[in-house]
Amino acid sequence: VTYNTILNAWSKSKLPGSAARAQNVLDYMIKSEKEAIAPDVISFASVLDAWAKSKEPNKGAMCRDLLDQLLEMYKATKRHDLQPTPYTYNAVLNACAFSAMGTTMDEQREALEI
């Protein structure tokens, strides 16, 4: 719960780099062998939200990669708490939709292809 609280806080932050910091926390949770800090779908949703709300370039691709990672973990472990929700898919769509604002044509095309 504590790690998800940290991820939630980073997802609401408007500071530059907050999405990357949330991603670092999630990566730590994934690599940890401690079951108590294993990520769940809420962990992933918070980081997806952080990327979607960020002004970072290629955030659509980052969200798609993160969703793919969630899907792979869910298929490999069959853990019910890793099952993607409509919210996780919507976060990816939001990231792609708002990637078109103030980005290069290449980034806009990439967001549409996702």
**What is the per-residue pLDDT across 10-66, written as a single tens digit (0 to 9) for each?**
999 999 999 999 999 999 999 998 999 999 999 999 999 999 999 888 888 899 999
* Torsion of the alpha carbons at 54, 60, 64 and 66, rounded to the nearest 10: -20
Tokens representing 46 are 């918070």
CA 7/CA 29 separation, integer angstroms: 11
What are the DSSP E strand ranges found in 30-102? none
Q: What are the backbone dihedrals phi and psi of residue 15, each rounded to the nearest 5 degrees, phi first? A: -70, 145
pLDDT digits (tens, 9 = 90+) for 43-59: 999 999 999 999 888 88
Single pTM value for the model: 0.88
Tokens representing 10 are 């980073």
